[in-house]
Structure 1
């Protein structure tokens, strides 16, 4: 089958990162300065913040300022009268570089006469009940294009991966450089970040507010190549239920840039892994961006193994996979969990010989860690809260299993914590000997409860960041055939 080719992106192409301000500007000066250094613009949510005079923002922002008075029907909170709205929009047009006008509601003769086309950002927000097919979006844009504007924006609500692809198909069909289109919803982040490679002139990140659907401007600029839009020939995905906190995109995308490799690594949050992965693989290839590999987070590692036509010996033994690589015959499954723990221990100079080990958590990561220890001569005991999963893992690997409520941590000199729990202690550390080694696979914006408690007790700890660096480097090698540069830990994890 002949693949479609994406619109040509000339060498040195850029898009404008736009931070959407959801909180008082004085609380977010650092993010605004970061955005300004990237040549970005700032969209002010006046429906949330009120009418902020641009002079307040100019100390931190030299880029374009966008005024947005989003209504309740468009995902905002403005519910005032038509007359009040018109007065605010017209006043903003005198001070802001662009004013967001909602199609239909704001495109009245009076407003259009007062706000010239070069100050207009014409926007449409499609509710979840609105059809998101390519045909429907083309018809919607045809209606919008009849009104001259500097920028056009279409935002759909996607309940499925197929719906999340529709805005990308629209961009591919239009092949214009003044239209931004993406979806919000579960699978939306992937399309939002890919849209600039299909001609979208803007990519949005939030400043303030709390949601995993929209990346923060900090993550947008640190994890992805923006404002540059470098050539991309290979897409890689990070699939899981909640992937917004992962540092994998930062590691992989920084490595692509350092090596000049034409890759892009994108998040694919989903609650239906098999359907989403297959839909994106087919849909993105049709747009000229083949999905050639990816990393898989819990709880989809077993499903990833089932998806693959071929599996590595390590993945087959663990009964789970966290890497998928496209080959001529289909997907090949691998697991890097075994090398993560033993590699991090080895890098820290910790000898495994003679240690009595336990692995707490019997999901894909725990089984992989146990398999890795076995390969290096350590026979761990498996520990799990649920007996069904614990017993199954023990039978699969030929290891002993202990229910969590009967687990005695002080009996072990090496403990690997492989559950997703970050904020609470899964087991007590009070009686552990000082020479106990703890490995915590979880990581986040701040140290986990286990790492905090262990450090207070002055125990030796290998945190999730150290394991991630080993795992990510192996994943990078499997997916690209290249070696990943060794990057330092993010500042807040040092």
Structure 2
């Protein structure tokens, strides 16, 4: 039911006896703060954003004075401090440090002095300007206001030695809190920042900018960071790579992360499209497992595992294009991975050795069999036996499905952009090889099975497809491993042609629940993961993830659940009841 209110909704949770407590009651909250950058043209707009920041769950706000179109230091700062619902950090970033202020230094630093005198909780002064600022204070530093001395490197991440020297210089300047931000050219850059953070003897804010630096922002509590920055909306950032507050809280369980948190992730390139963090982190939260699962944009898997072998990285899912390269990184492989020559799941054992396995084909082959059996319920054995099974792609997923289809008695055909790779895989499974260009004209018989294991059709290139629509009529079923979007152009055109379709979600779910058990040692079921995945998607489609607070439970854990949120004032609030 929809309610006629646009501000607050109450939250009522009627939970079965024996169900875990809400996470805030069941787990200890860490001390790392979430700071919301506030950038706007006017003070009134800033104050409105500050209210949203509080509702979203931020602990403090960073007031970016350099974003204001007009600015009267004395009156505007006084208004902001008096009316802010959260503690304030004032930043007046000059263009030479990546900000918008292009005026004189005396006026800029004087505005920060005014903020200190009027009661700001924090001010941010650049390392290059701190000596001039300290001189202007004449020793009259406010006891309340903490001075963050910052340095920003928009080109790269220096060596550990250089970062250590930088921290020492910042500390020697009289900083209450050390802050530095570097740029990630490779995900390995983050390890050096973790090393500095965890050994720091002073409060420290250390971030690595860009998509490859995302985990530096998520894992602050684990390595002792003073705060992280979280935005109110996707894309409205004060520095590259900042996640939203709602993602920090609702996806990554930020408040519960700590030194003992085990790290998991999905390794790939690209990887930002993956829904794995949504599914795994909710699964961890639902049983109180102290772990976090993140997207990991990796260029070189061998280097990644060498670099992060000792930082509590407990396990990883592996996706395109690393499933084959990672084989050489593993100390041991399960029989399937050994035969296929591809790995999609890596577990770090207590002795530090890496165990690789392949769960790629299990969910996909099972879903294809179920769909075929639905149309032929009386048949015994695998419905794939004797079928012509065409696999698009000769990479890790292609190898897995080709192997699985062969095990079920299918006759396998491999179609790949590079014919030589198709031929290599076809030889392994005793099948036939085609170049991808030949596929649309390949129809030796009817009722074939088609399985796309490439990224063709994946967001953002949703208009791409590996085969002409006219050729789909020769198939009885089409499977697409791509699950973003769920219905790709290939699947849409297959459905329009009267062909059964199986989405990549089935493969994703099949992988997920098997990998979850390997990661955690806890039993689960495919049905539970299917229900949780569906619940998460429904929540997102209903804009629950746009709310300031999201509480989700595995569906069966609730007798009745009424979720109440504080929504954006422009949104239509609702209560979603699940019985």
Question: Displacement, 1:89?
Answer: 4.4
Report the 3-state secondary structure (helix = DSSP H, G, I; strand = E; otherwise coil) of the residue aligned with 2:182.
Answer: strand
Structure 2 residue aligned with 1:308: 330
Matched-pair contact (CA < 8 Å) for 1:439–1:461: yes
Structure 1 residue aligned with 2:552: none
> Whole-Å Cα distance in 2 between the matches of residues 434 and 57 of structure 1?
67
Q: State which of 333, 337, 343 in structure 1 corresponds to 2:356.
A: 333
Question: Displacement, 1:278?
Answer: 1.0
> Whole-Å Cα distance in 1 between the matches of residues 390 and 50 of structure 2?
42
Relative to structure 1, the CA distance from residue 265 to residue 208 in structure 2 (aligned partners, 3 Å threshold; closer, same or farther) is: closer
2:191 aligned with 1:191, yes or no?
no
Structure 2 residue aligned with 1:38: 57
> Whole-Å Cα distance in 2 between the matches of residues 196 and 455 of structure 1?
47
Question: Displacement, 1:150?
Answer: 5.7
Structure 2 residue aligned with 1:12: 29
Q: Which has the larger radius of gyration?
A: 2
Relative to structure 1, the CA distance from residue 87 to residue 55 in structure 2 (aligned partners, 3 Å threshold; closer, same or farther) is: closer
Matched-pair contact (CA < 8 Å) for 1:324–1:334: yes
> Whole-Å Cα distance in 2 between the matches of residues 315 and 329 of structure 1?
20
Where does 1:343-422 land on structure 2 (aligned, <5 Å)?
343-345=366-368, 350=373, 353=383, 355-408=387-440, 411-421=446-456, 422=458
Report the 3-state secondary structure (helix = DSSP H, G, I; strand = E; otherwise coil) of the residue aligned with 1:104.
Answer: helix
Question: Displacement, 1:184?
Answer: 2.7
2:199 aligned with 1:173, yes or no?
yes
Structure 1 residue aligned with 2:228: 203
> Whole-Å Cα distance in 2 between the matches of residues 454 and 57 of structure 1?
58
Q: Deviations over 1:133-160 (max 9, x none)?
A: 1x43333223323455664322123445
Where does 1:418-433 land on structure 2 (aligned, <5 Å)?
418-421=453-456, 422=458, 423=461, 424-430=464-470, 432-433=472-473
Relative to structure 1, the CA distance from residue 477 to residue 174 in structure 2 (aligned partners, 3 Å threshold; closer, same or farther) is: same
2:533 aligned with 1:488, yes or no?
yes
Consecutive unaligned residues of structure 1, counting only runs of 5 or more, are: 1-9
> Whole-Å Cα distance in 1 between the matches of residues 452 and 156 of structure 2?
43
Report the 3-state secondary structure (helix = DSSP H, G, I; strand = E; otherwise coil) of the residue aligned with 2:308.
Answer: helix
Matched-pair contact (CA < 8 Å) for 2:305–2:329: no
> Whole-Å Cα distance in 2 between the matches of residues 341 and 79 of structure 1?
57
Relative to structure 1, the CA distance from residue 146 to residue 464 in structure 2 (aligned partners, 3 Å threshold; closer, same or farther) is: same
> Whole-Å Cα distance in 2 between the matches of residues 41 and 342 of structure 1?
50
Relative to structure 1, the CA distance from residue 407 to residue 171 in structure 2 (aligned partners, 3 Å threshold; closer, same or farther) is: same
> Whole-Å Cα distance in 1 between the matches of residues 322 and 369 of structure 2?
28
> Whole-Å Cα distance in 1 between the matches of residues 78 and 438 of structure 2?
63
Taking structure 1 as the reference length, the TM-score comes to 0.81
Relative to structure 1, the CA distance from residue 31 to residue 63 in structure 2 (aligned partners, 3 Å threshold; closer, same or farther) is: closer
Taking structure 2 as the reference length, the TM-score comes to 0.70
Structure 2 residue aligned with 1:265: 293
Comparing 462-471 and 154-163, the one that deviates more: 154-163
Structure 2 residue aligned with 1:6: none
Relative to structure 1, the CA distance from residue 30 to residue 49 in structure 2 (aligned partners, 3 Å threshold; closer, same or farther) is: closer
Q: Deviations over 1:286-310 (max 9, x none)?
A: xxx4323212121111111111122
Q: Deviations over 1:173-212 (max 9, x none)?
A: 1255x32213235642233322211211322234343898
Report the 3-state secondary structure (helix = DSSP H, G, I; strand = E; otherwise coil) of the residue aligned with 2:533.
Answer: coil
Where does 1:47-446 land on structure 2 (aligned, <5 Å)?
47=66, 50=69, 62-83=85-106, 85-86=108-109, 89=112, 98-105=122-129, 108-109=133-134, 112=137, 116=142, 118=145, 120-128=147-155, 131-133=158-160, 135-146=161-172, 151-160=177-186, 163-176=189-202, 178-185=203-210, 187-206=212-231, 207-209=233-235, 213-230=241-258, 232-281=260-309, 285=310, 289-327=311-349, 328=351, 330-345=353-368, 350=373, 353=383, 355-408=387-440, 411-421=446-456, 422=458, 423=461, 424-430=464-470, 432-433=472-473, 436-444=476-484
The CA RMSD measured in Å over matched residues stands at 3.9
> Whole-Å Cα distance in 2 between the matches of residues 182 and 230 of structure 1?
17
- How many aligned positions are there? 475
